[in-house]
C-alpha cells in the first residue's frame, strides 16, 4: 500500500456558528492523506493509474466553498467526495484546520481529523 499526501491547502472560507463568520470568513488549512496502490503508475508513468492531486485540490476547494457551521461537516463532505472520485482509494484522512478561531482566548488554531 502507498500513501499520497496533499498538504497545506490554503483556503479562505466562511464556516462557523457565528453570523460574523459567514460574513468575514477566515483562513483554513486542509491536509489530505490517501492510501492507494500506485504500483502501476510508478512503473508506467501514467497519471490515470494514480490519484490526480489537481482533482484532490478541486474537491477540497469546492467543499470548502459551501458554508457550514461546523468544520466537522466540511471534513466529512471532503472525505465522501474523494471516495466518490477515486475508486482506488483504500483509506483517506482529512484534517481541516481553522486559523485564529473566534474564541474568548488566545487560540492559534482548531482542527478536526476524519479518517475513513
How much is the CA Rg of the chain, to the nearest whole Å?
16
What is the crossing angle of helices 53-64 and 71-85, to 10°?
150
**Which SS3 state, helix, strand or coil, does residue 69 take?**
coil
3 is catalytic: no
Instruction: Lay out the sheet containing 109-115: strands in order across.
Output: 2-13, 26-36, 91-99, 109-115
Q: Among the options 49, 90, 95, 98, which is catalytic?
A: 98
The residue assigned the cell 467543499 is 63
Q: Catalytic positions, please?
A: 98
Amino acid at each position: 500500500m502507498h500513501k499520497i499526501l496533499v498538504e497545506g491547502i490554503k483556503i479562505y472560507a466562511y464556516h462557523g456558528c457565528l453570523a460574523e463568520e459567514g460574513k468575514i470568513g477566515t483562513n483554513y488549512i486542509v491536509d489530505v492523506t490517501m492510501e492507494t496502490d500506485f504500483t502501476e503508475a510508478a512503473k508506467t508513468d501514467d497519471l490515470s493509474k494514480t490519484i490526480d492531486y489537481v482533482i484532490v485540490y478541486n474537491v477540497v476547494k469546492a467543499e470548502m466553498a459551501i458554508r457550514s457551521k461546523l468544520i466537522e461537516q466540511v471534513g466529512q463532505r471532503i472525505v465522501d467526495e474523494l471516495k466518490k472520485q477515486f475508486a482506488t482509494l483504500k483509506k483517506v484522512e482529512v484534517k481541516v484546520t481553522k486559523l485564529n478561531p473566534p474564541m474568548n482566548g488566545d487560540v492559534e488554531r482548531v482542527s478536526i481529523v476524519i479518517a475513513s
